[in-house]
């Protein structure tokens, strides 16, 4: 979909398990347990480009 | 790492936009995300609170609407989707893409062994036909 999505799928995100990771221009620009915090920091860095923010999933079984 | 059926999407509302990963959740009646995401998108959260049933018990929600974009290569689909904002403090829930408003826009095929998901946008006539077929 975007460079940031490709970056997210290709890179080792294990240091951020359980956190929201924000990516702009193929760089992790912020990470936090809080979506809002990761987004707010990313907005300052990313400028006009849309940040990519995704939760790095835990290995624990998810039941919804 | 456990692979989950997640797809890249863009949520946008009045100048705020971000790309994220949504979990395709055929068990969810609606598309839903947390209050934190709604606040970032500056959604109106003044509506009445409603109870929704989750595995962990009842959750308070508020109805809202947001633009969602699904893209792949040269295909881009943007549409307004009704969502339920989950009034929970826990931020570690990804956006859930549920049946009403999302699954009824696409033909979705899960190829579990191949770890592949295929989405095909339904034309309006397909959606109408499906509604007629599913009505009693």
Whichever domain contains B58, its CATH number is: 2.40.70.10
* Cβ contact B91–A35 (<8 Å): yes
CA dihedral A11, B112, B23, B21 (to 10 degrees): 30
Which tokens hold the place of B120?
Answer: 């095909």
**Average model confidence (pLDDT) for chain A?**
88
What is the Cα–Cα distance from A37 to A20, expressed in whole angstroms? 9
In a domain, B124, yes or no: no
pLDDT in tens, A17-38: 999 999 999 999 999 999 999 9
Q: Does B5 touch chain A (CB under 8 A)?
A: no
Alpha-carbon distance of B112 to A52, in angstroms, equals 26
With H, G, I as helix, E, B as strand and everything else as coil, classify residue B120.
strand
Residue B45 falls inside a structural domain: yes
The confidence score (pLDDT) of residue B129 equals 59
Verify whether the Cβ–Cβ distance A57 to B4 is below 8 Å: yes
Residue B77 lies in a domain: yes
Inter-chain contacts counted by CB atoms under 8 A, chains A and B: 68
| Distance to chain A for B97, nearest Cα, Å | 12
pLDDT above 70: percentage of residues in chain B: 90
Q: What angle do CA B109, B12, B34 make, to 5 degrees?
A: 75
Q: What number is the average pLDDT over the span A30-47?
A: 94
**How distant is the Cα of B40 from the closest Cα of chain A, in angstroms?**
6
How far is residue B62's CA from residue B126's CA, in Å, rounded to a whole number? Answer: 30
- With 90 as the cut, is the pLDDT of residue B8 above it? yes
Residue-wise pLDDT for B15-73, tens only, equals: 999 999 999 999 999 999 999 999 999 999 999 999 988 777 889 999 999 999 998 87
What is the percentage of chain B residues whose pLDDT exceeds 90? 65
- Chain A interface includes B67 (CB < 8 A): no
Give a yes or no: residue B107 inside a domain: no
Asked if residue B64 is part of any domain, the answer here is yes
CB A29 within 8 A of CB A41: yes
pLDDT confidence of residue A64: 55
Its domain, for residue B10, covers: 6-98
Residue A21, φ and ψ in degrees, nearest 5: -115, 130
Confidence at A3, pLDDT banded by 50, 70, 90:
confident
Could you tell me if residue B89 is inside a domain?
A: yes
Asked if B8 lies within 8 A of A1 by C-beta distance, the reply is yes
In a domain, B109, yes or no: no
Closest chain B C-alpha to A37 CA, distance in angstroms: 9
Q: Nearest CB to B40: which of A5, A36, A63?
A: A36
Which residue among B10, B20, B91 sits closest to A34, beta carbon to beta carbon? Answer: B91
Instruction: Provide the number of structural domains found in chain B.
Output: 1
B20, B27, B96 ranked by CB distance to A53: nearest: B20
Assigned domain for B66 exists: yes
Instruction: Output the pTM of the full model.
Output: 0.87
Helix, strand or coil, per DSSP, at residue B130? helix
B78 pLDDT band, cuts 50/70/90, is very high
Element containing residue B55 per DSSP (H, E):
none
């Amino acid at each position: 979909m975007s460079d940031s999505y490709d970056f997210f799928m290709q890179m080792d995100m294990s240091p951020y398990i359980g956190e929201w990771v924000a990516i702009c221009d193929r760089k992790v620009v912020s990470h936090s347990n809080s979506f809002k915090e990761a987004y707010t920091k990313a907005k300052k860095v990313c400028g006009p480009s849309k940040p990519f923010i995704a939760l790095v999933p835990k290995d624990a079984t998810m039941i919804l | 790492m456990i692979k989950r059926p997640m797809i890249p999407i863009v949520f946008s509302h009045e100048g705020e936009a971000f790309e994220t990963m949504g979990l395709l959740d055929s068990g969810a009646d609606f598309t839903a995300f947390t209050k934190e995401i709604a606040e970032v998108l500056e959604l109106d959260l003044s509506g009445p609170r409603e109870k929704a049933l989750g595995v962990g018990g009842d959750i308070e929600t508020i109805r809202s609407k947001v633009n969602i974009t699904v893209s792949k290569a040269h295909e881009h689909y943007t549409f307004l989707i009704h969502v339920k904002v989950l009034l929970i403090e826990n931020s570690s829930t990804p956006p859930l893409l549920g049946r009403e408003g999302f699954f009824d826009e696409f033909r979705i095929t899960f190829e579990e062994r191949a770890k592949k998901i295929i989405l095909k946008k339904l034309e309006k006539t397909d959606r109408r036909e499906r509604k007629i077929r599913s009505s009693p």
